[in-house]
């Protein structure tokens, strides 16, 4: 590799909790422009939806610095299979591509009935499409109340992207897992954009209502809306209620702050994170029954 | 007058370009609101518009806020006169969702959920004293303040006040008559039973 090519070793953690994904943001934030970036995936052996979305957003930011597509190098075979299955290289082909050409075709089942592939949210029609597909996929795994909750969460989060973020390239992804010991279904939803973020969205209507990005997150979660009509402010609160009711968790991140809300206890805020434009959300829903 | 118009919400979802059972997004809720508003205005006064939801419907909070909640607020504000929108066929999930919206918005709205056979329940904050009066009005179909005062051993003013508040919530409609004793309001429970377009004189 010549000196104009910057290789960044992606830290392990894309398959861990949302906090672990922060290391990827740290890797990207504050980078100087270069001719080309390579994301070296040698340390990554597992990826979850929020990790995929973070990877995609990282790639988009790097493309913004180089003007060229980011290459993913040294990708573990299973991880690559998963990323392909999730349509990463199709949906995000303008920003990211695998460095290595495969000599064999991997065992890949496009009908795997436990996930919603990476889906771009460009407008309301994509929201409806994502929801109808999610219903088809997850009705196999979830009872009606849990399925309805999932669809409502999905609808609200996707709608927020196209209505508030100003980013036409936001995306969503869902994966259902089984929790090891209990066998319960855990559905992980990840949504992310590189749009204006919650602070700018709320400030556009209310002016500067606080100093810290965290205050804006809290305002959004308590029902402040950026709509001129004053209606709204329900989406995140609905998502939080559903997540709590399902014994799950909501992680809401924008700029340098995040709020995590769990089934018990008050929402906990975090400040001083590395700057990421836009808004990123992860929601886990736990089914009471074995999946 | 006892009458009711029925409107299949699957028809509405089709009209606004959504798959049959899906009622999603704020934009579509706005479109739905405009259609429902027209429907409600076309409904005769003192008649109910029954919104019949399809089986297994999925209604998100934004859609419900922009359509049902907005319509509910305007009904209570008196913008539609003595008309009401009754909700039929909502799943328990949708009901839970609607309850959550009302709670989160701290809205002073009460929706009447109805069954084709005549069963009903309410969603929204209704204090026990009002619920008691409302239950009585539903049983008797027609009630006056003296009737309520007598039955519940209330002061006439109190009975009058309860019925007036139920009417303000559009849980009852009312007519008045002028007699030697002055103006008297007669309050009526809504009619929707049977699902046909119009029924006169059915109790």
Query: A113-291 — its CATH code?
Result: 3.30.565.10
Q: How much is the average pLDDT of B16-38?
A: 94
Buried b (16+ CB within 10 A) or exposed e, A17-44: bbebbbbbbebbbebeebebbbbbbeeb
Report the interhelical angle of A235-245 vs A144-160 (nearest 10°).
Answer: 150
Within 8 A by CB and 6+ apart from B170, the residues are B75, B76, B82, B83, B84
pLDDT higher than threshold 50 for residue B86: yes
Closest approach of A127 to chain B, Cα-based (Å): 8
Interface contact A139, partner B, CB < 8 A: no
Contact B191, B2 (CB under 8 A): yes
Give the C-alpha separation, B112 to B94, whole Å.
Answer: 14
Buried b (16+ CB within 10 A) or exposed e, B181-201: eeeebbbbbbbbbeeeeebee
Closest approach of B130 to chain A, Cα-based (Å): 28
Query: A1-100 — its CATH code?
Result: 3.30.750.24
Q: What is the pLDDT of residues A116-156, one digit of tens each?
A: 999 999 888 888 888 988 888 888 878 878 888 899 899 99
Give the C-alpha separation, B5 to B192, whole Å.
Answer: 8
pLDDT at B203: 32
Residue B194 belongs to a domain: no
pLDDT at B194: 57
Give the C-alpha separation, B75 to B84, whole Å.
Answer: 7
Name every chain B residue with its beta carbon within 8 A of the beta carbon of A128: 18-19, 22, 24-25
* Helix ranges (DSSP H) in chain A: 22-28, 49-66, 77-85, 88-91, 124-138, 144-160, 197-206, 213-221, 235-245
Q: How much is the average pLDDT of A51-57?
A: 96
Query: What is the DSSP code string of A172-197?
Result: EEEEEEE-TTT-EEEEEEEEE--SSH
Angle at CA A75, nearest 5°, toward A69 and A76? 160
In the 8-state DSSP scheme, what is residue A19? G
- Nearest by CB: B18 against A128, A151, A238: A128
Cross-strand partners of A36? A5
Chain B residue with minimum CA distance to A222: B104
Tokens of B98: 């609607």
Q: What is the pLDDT of residues B102-113, one digit of tens each?
A: 998 899 999 999
Residue B136 belongs to a domain: yes
Name every chain B residue with its beta carbon within 8 A of the beta carbon of A231: 26, 65-66, 70
Tokens of B12: 């509405």
Give the C-alpha separation, A18 to A142, whole Å.
Answer: 24
Following CA atoms A97, A99, A104, A105 in sequence, which dihedral angle do they give, to the nearest 10 degrees? -10
Chain B residue with minimum CA distance to A127: B25
Q: What are phi and psi of A72, to 5 degrees?
A: -100, 120
Mean pLDDT rounded to a whole number for chain A:
88
Residue B161 belongs to a domain: yes
User: Residue B199: pLDDT band by 50, 70, 90 thresholds?
Assistant: very low
Closest approach of B26 to chain A, Cα-based (Å): 8
pLDDT at A103: 61
Q: How far is CA A115 from CA A175, A187, B82, in A?
A: 4, 9, 49
Q: How much is the average pLDDT of B129-157?
A: 97
Closest approach of B107 to chain A, Cα-based (Å): 12
Give the C-alpha separation, B136 to B142, whole Å.
Answer: 9
Please answer yes or no on whether A148 and B91 come within 8 Å at the CB atom. Answer: yes
Residue B182 belongs to a domain: yes
- Nearest by CB: B24 against A128, A223, A238: A128
Name every chain B residue with its beta carbon within 8 A of the beta carbon of A145: 92-93
pLDDT at A107: 55
Interface contact A145, partner B, CB < 8 A: yes
* 3-class secondary structure, A67: coil
Q: How much is the average pLDDT of A110-118?
A: 78
pLDDT higher than threshold 70 for residue A111: no
Give the C-alpha separation, A261 to A284, whole Å.
Answer: 11
Residue B203 belongs to a domain: no
Name every chain B residue with its beta carbon within 8 A of the beta carbon of A151: 58, 60
pLDDT at A3: 59
pLDDT higher than threshold 80 for residue A289: no
pLDDT higher than threshold 50 for residue A251: yes
Name every chain B residue with its beta carbon within 8 A of the beta carbon of A221: none
Owning domain of residue B158: 4-189
- For residues B77 and A226, the model is more confident at B77
Interface contact B18, partner A, CB < 8 A: yes
pLDDT at B90: 96
- Nearest by CB: A155 against B24, B93, B104: B24
Residue B139 belongs to a domain: yes
- For residues A113 and A150, the model is more confident at A150
Which of B200, B138, B148 minimizes the C-alpha distance to B173? B138
Following CA atoms A284, A260, A53, A173 in sequence, which dihedral angle do they give, to the nearest 10 degrees? 30
Q: What is the pLDDT of residues B50-69, one digit of tens each?
A: 999 999 999 999 999 999 99
Give the C-alpha separation, A184 to A135, whole Å.
Answer: 19
Give the C-alpha separation, B78 to A151, whole Å.
Answer: 34
pLDDT at B113: 97
Burial of B19 (0-12, 13-18, 19+ CB in 10 A): middle
Cross-strand partners of A6? A37
Tokens of B183: 């103006």
Q: What interface predicted TM-score (ipTM) does this complex get? A: 0.81
Q: What is the pLDDT of residues B145-173, one digit of tens each?
A: 999 999 999 999 999 999 999 999 999 99
pLDDT at B197: 41
Among A58-67, A86-95, A198-207, A260-269, whose mean pLDDT is lowest? A198-207
Q: How much is the average pLDDT of A191-209?
A: 86
pLDDT at A225: 77
Chain B residue with minimum CA distance to A126: B25
Query: What is the DSSP code string of A70-100?
Result: EEEES--HHHHHHHHHTTHHHHTTTTEEESS
Interface contact B140, partner A, CB < 8 A: no
Mean pLDDT rounded to a whole number for chain B:
92
How many A×B Cβ pairs under 8 Å? 72
Name every chain A residue with its beta carbon within 8 A of the beta carbon of B22: 128, 131-132
Chain A residue with minimum CA distance to B30: A231
Q: What is the pLDDT of residues A219-238, one digit of tens each?
A: 988 887 767 777 777 888 88
Number of domains in chain B: 1
User: Residue A33: pLDDT band by 50, 70, 90 thresholds?
Assistant: very high
Tokens of A60: 């988009």
Percent with pLDDT over 90 in chain B: 83
Q: How much is the average pLDDT of A183-201?
A: 90
Chain B residue with minimum CA distance to A145: B93
Within 8 A by CB and 6+ apart from A226, the residues are A164, A201, A202, A204, A205, A206, A232
Please answer yes or no on whether A144 and B93 come within 8 Å at the CB atom. Answer: yes
Tokens of B61: 């909070």
Which of B18, B17, B23, B16 minimizes the C-alpha distance to B52? B23
pLDDT at A102: 67
pLDDT at A1: 47
Please answer yes or no on whether A151 and B58 come within 8 Å at the CB atom. Answer: yes
Among A19-33, A233-247, B124-138, whose mean pLDDT is lowest? A233-247
User: Residue A207: pLDDT band by 50, 70, 90 thresholds?
Assistant: confident
User: Residue A76: pLDDT band by 50, 70, 90 thresholds?
Assistant: very high
Angle at CA B111, nearest 5°, toward B167 and B165? 20
Please answer yes or no on whether A148 and B28 come within 8 Å at the CB atom. Answer: no
Interface contact A112, partner B, CB < 8 A: no
Each domain of chain A, given as residue ranges in start order, spans 1-100, 113-291
Please answer yes or no on whether B19 and A149 come within 8 Å at the CB atom. Answer: no
pLDDT higher than threshold 90 for residue B84: yes
Closest approach of A234 to chain B, Cα-based (Å): 7
Closest approach of A148 to chain B, Cα-based (Å): 7
């Amino acid at each position: 590799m010549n000196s104009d090519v910057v290789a960044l070793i992606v830290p392990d953690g894309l398959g861990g909790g949302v906090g672990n994904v922060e290391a990827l943001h740290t890797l990207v934030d504050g980078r100087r422009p270069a001719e080309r970036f390579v994301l070296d995936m040698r340390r990554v052996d597992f990826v979850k939806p929020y990790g995929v979305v973070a990877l995609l957003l990282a790639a988009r930011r790097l493309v913004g610095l180089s003007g060229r597509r980011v290459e993913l190098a040294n990708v573990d075979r299973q991880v690559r299979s998963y990323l392909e299955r999730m349509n990463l290289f199709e949906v995000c082909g303008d920003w990211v591509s695998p460095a290595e050409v495969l000599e064999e075709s991997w065992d890949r089942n496009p009908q795997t009935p436990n996930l919603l592939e990476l889906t771009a949210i460009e407008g309301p029609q994509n929201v409806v499409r994502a929801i109808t597909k999610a219903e088809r996929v997850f009705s196999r795994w979830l009872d009606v109340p849990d399925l309805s909750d999932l669809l409502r969460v999905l609808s609200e989060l996707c709608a927020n992207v196209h209505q508030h973020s100003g980013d036409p390239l936001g995306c969503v992804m869902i994966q259902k897992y089984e929790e090891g010991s209990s066998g319960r279904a855990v559905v992980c939803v990840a949504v992310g954009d590189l749009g204006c973020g919650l602070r700018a969205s709320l400030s556009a209507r209310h002016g500067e209502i606080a100093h810290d990005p965290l205050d804006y997150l809290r305002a959004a979660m308590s029902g402040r809306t950026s709509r001129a009509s004053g209606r709204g402010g329900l989406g995140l609160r609905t998502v939080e209620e559903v997540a709590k009711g399902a014994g799950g968790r909501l992680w809401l991140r924008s700029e340098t702050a995040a709020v995590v809300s769990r089934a018990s206890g008050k929402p906990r805020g975090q400040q001083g994170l590395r700057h990421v434009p836009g808004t990123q959300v992860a929601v886990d829903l736990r089914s009471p029954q074995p999946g | 007058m006892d009458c009711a118009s029925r409107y299949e919400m699957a028809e509405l979802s089709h009209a606004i370009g959504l798959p049959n059972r899906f009622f999603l997004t704020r934009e579509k809720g706005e479109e739905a609101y405009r259609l429902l508003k027209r429907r409600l205005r076309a409904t005769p006064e003192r008649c109910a518009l029954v919104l019949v939801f399809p089986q297994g419907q999925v209604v998100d909070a934004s859609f419900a806020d922009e359509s049902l909640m907005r319509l509910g607020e305007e009904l209570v504000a008196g913008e539609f006169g003595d008309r009401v929108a009754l909700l039929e066929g909502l799943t328990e999930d949708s009901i839970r969702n609607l309850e959550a919206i009302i709670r989160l918005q701290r809205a002073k709205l009460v929706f009447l959920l109805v069954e084709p056979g005549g069963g009903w329940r309410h969603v929204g904050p209704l204090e026990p004293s009002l619920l008691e009066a409302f239950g009585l009005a539903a049983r008797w179909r027609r009630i006056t303040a003296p009737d309520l005062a007598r039955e519940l051993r209330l002061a006439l003013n109190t009975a009058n006040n309860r019925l007036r508040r139920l009417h303000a919530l559009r849980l009852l409609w009312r007519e008045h008559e002028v007699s030697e004793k002055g103006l008297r309001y007669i309050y009526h429970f809504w009619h929707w039973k049977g699902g046909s377009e119009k029924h006169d004189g059915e109790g």
